[in-house]
Amino acid sequence: MDFDIERARRDTPGVEHVIHFNNAGSSLPTRQVLDASIEHLQLEARIGGYEAAAAAHDKVERVYGAAAELIGARPDEIAIIENATRAWDMAFYSVPFEPGDRILTAVAEYGSNFIPYLQVAENRGVIVEVVPNDEHGQLSVEALKEMMDERVKLISITHIPTNGGLVNPAEEIGKIAREAGVLYLIDACQSVGQLPLHVDALNCDMLSTTGRKYIRGPRGTGFLYVRRGVLDRLEPPLIDHHAARWVAADRYELRDDAKRFENWETNYAAKIGLAVALDYALDLTMDAIWARIQDLASELRKRLDAVPRVTVQDLGVVRCGIVTFTIDGADLDQVKEQLAERKINVSVSRAPSTRLDMEARGLDAVVRSSVHYYNTSDEIAHFVDTLESII
């Protein structure tokens, strides 16, 4: 599939300054996102925050339609929230757990999700159970089927773990959840903007994501999808007069759309920037983006496999743009710092982020190099050559 790499790099000012392989942390934004966000901040400075929001109403509201279009949802099923963690929290803590309810999750679940599981287990008597992996290192669909019973209240998984290239079989998991009538929550922090997603195919009830990673939006943005059919089963843990109406002295009514999970105050400049980022991805198409990312990641893994002392640590049948590796006898933080000195950005993922998975594999840390469509083969070659010279 042809990809207009010249356009992508022309629209990405940061590529003139760094080789950015930390897209799973925070991608380089496009100049369009940058310009839109700054323009609104300048408007606020000129005429006032409330007045600027009113003047930019259509630009602000576009974020709901663009997010919905990207994942196959309806605009009224989208809530814009300040980050993926808070979006996930608003969904998770809205589930009416009771003592004895079971939560089923994955081995490679993210730490910021697992801690809330432990909290509700302690405070509400909920049982948290981890579905084993299959032979490919991804959640075992067969094991999940065997673990299902009438006490399962929620299936909650991270689609793409933070510490590797694995893509969990989210659609197959969703079929099991839907057949059982069990709520299904997906942490899609690393997958929205990276690969094509459709909430109907996923059969998910809730899905959370960030703006700063593969969507290439501003930091401090994210969104939550909540299927309209489950709204009445969910009570947001925090509400205000945006999420609900105060209809009488002793009574309130929740909104009848996903905005019941939002709060009134928001970063309008970032919201507009997120809309621009979403529209940019839609224009490129997710099929083209995903094909480009997979090609680059495969090339990077192949080159890393040839470097002495380097071991690629990615699992799964389907692998994404996150490429992780270890280096025998090397301090990974020092390697990261030495790469940064040469204007190459990577990150280091440590055991507490995905403790169960990392401990099961005997890993303390991995270097995480994550590509996006604006990266190039020349950058990959330079990165691997530089890495080899360092180690």
Listed in order, strand segments (DSSP E) in 273-362 are 310-312, 322-327, 344-345, 347-350
pLDDT tens digits, 144-184: 999 999 999 999 999 999 999 999 999 999 999 999 999 99
Q: In the chain, what is the greatest distance between 2 CA atoms, to the nearest angstrom?
A: 71
Only one residue has tokens 């489950």, namely: 230
Give the SS3 label for residue 226. strand
Which class is 5-28+285-390 in CATH? alpha beta
Question: Is residue 22 packed enough to be buried (19+ CB in 10 Å), middle (13-18) or exposed (0-12)?
Answer: buried
* Alpha carbon distance, N-terminus to C-terminus of the chain: 36
pLDDT tens digits, 360-386: 999 999 999 999 999 999 999 999 999
Listed in order, strand segments (DSSP E) in the chain are 19-20, 78-81, 102-106, 127-131, 152-158, 183-187, 206-210, 222-226, 244-248, 251-254, 310-312, 322-327, 344-345, 347-350, 365-370
CA distance 282 to 318: 23
| Percentage of the residues of the chain whose pLDDT score is greater than 90 | 99
Structure tokens at 139: 């959640």
CA distance 363 to 357: 9
pTM for the predicted model, two decimal places: 0.96
CA distance 248 to 236: 20
pLDDT tens digits, 267-321: 999 999 999 999 999 999 999 999 999 999 999 999 999 999 999 999 999 999 9
Contact 383, 20 (CB under 8 A): no
Structure tokens at 6: 């010249």
Range 36-60 burial, b when 16+ CB lie within 10 A, else e: bbebbbebbeeeeeeebbeebeebb
- Sign of CA pseudo-dihedral 45, 47, 53, 58: negative
Q: What is the CA radius of gyration of the chain?
A: 21
When pLDDT is cut at 50, 70 and 90, the band that residue 2 belongs to is confident
* Residues in contact with 246: Cβ distance below 8 Å, sequence separation at least 6, in sequence order: 252
pLDDT tens digits, 174-225: 999 999 999 999 999 999 999 999 999 999 999 999 999 999 999 999 999 9
Residue 337 pLDDT > 70, yes or no?
Answer: yes
Just give the CATH number of 32-283.
3.40.640.10
What are the sequence ranges of the domains in the chain?
5-28+285-390, 32-283
pLDDT tens digits, 65-95: 999 999 999 999 999 999 999 999 999 999 9
Residue 232: per-residue pLDDT:
94
Residue 1: per-residue pLDDT:
59
pLDDT tens digits, 12-59: 999 999 999 999 999 999 999 999 999 999 999 999 999 999 999 999
pLDDT tens digits, 220-275: 999 999 999 999 999 999 999 999 999 999 999 999 999 999 999 999 999 999 99
